[in-house]
Amino acid sequence: MDRLSVLTNILKANQEIATENRRLFEKEGTLVINLMSAPGAGKTSLLEATVRALGGHYRLAVFDGDFETDLDSQRIRALGTRSHRITNGSVCHLDARMVARALTEFPVEGLDLLVIENVGNLICPASYDLGESLRVVICCVAEGAEKPKKYAVMFHKADVVLLNKTDLATASGIDLRELEKNVREVNAKATVFAVSCKTGVGLDAWVAWLRDAIVSRRIAEVARC
């Protein structure tokens, strides 16, 4: 069997499990986010800000794909939110089977929002559906304005793109309008937020958008019952 056939089979098997995961999440009325970015773009910082804003109002949990350390999970648990670490040795992405296995240990029953923090990688995670409701991609502005074009598959498949660390834009010599234009070139439909998890700028708009998405998912579940 050649490498392409092996990959095709892996992705087909992944899709079947992802469809099962998605069915379960929809049945429970849980909004599930697959959170992806390059290393150090701010996934955990965004999660901390989101938990602080919504943790008192909704039932939240996090699946953490940091396979080498427990640092990210510790940060989330310090805020009183449940966090379950997915440990799979040295892998470059999460897949639907890992999420399905985590669900047997950590059921989502009654959760409003589950965020799956993927492995820090702008390439491999883009190919693996986990059963999520939304794909959210964070781009650190210090990475450079051309990154959406260079990692086009990841940005093309995103439902939401957050341009993070806008407080470093001037020092990094980055034109935010050019960066957003490059996002639009590979994905005209994505919702884009410019934020700084450090200063808090722009986070209100993201939190309001996410609150609406959680409520919409809950209404859809009630309507189905």
Minimum CB separation of residue 123 from its own copies in Å reads 4
Give the contact letters, 69-108, x = binds to its own copies (CB under 8 A), - = no.
x-x------------------xxx----------------
- DSSP E strands in 8-79: the ranges are 31-37, 60-64
Instruction: Name which of 28 and 64 has its Cβ closer to its own copies.
Output: 64
Q: Which CB sits closer to its own copies, 84 or 165?
A: 165
Closest CA to 47 of 182, 192, 151, 203: 203
Q: Give the pairing type, strands 113-117 and 134-140.
A: unpaired
Task: Report 1-30 residues binding its own copies (CB under 8 A).
Answer: 1, 3, 6, 10
| Distance (Å, whole) CA 137 – CA 147 | 12
Q: Beta strand pairing status for 82-85 and 60-64?
A: parallel
Nearest to 101 by CA among 2, 8, 17, 223: 17
Binding mask 115-154 for its own copies (x = CB under 8 A): ----xxxxxx---------------x-xxx-xx-xxxxx-
* CA atoms of 167 and 127, how far apart (whole Å): 31
Binding site for its own copies (CB under 8 A): 1, 3, 6, 10, 38-41, 66, 68-69, 71, 90-92, 119-124, 140, 142-144, 146-147, 149-153, 165, 167-168, 171-173, 198
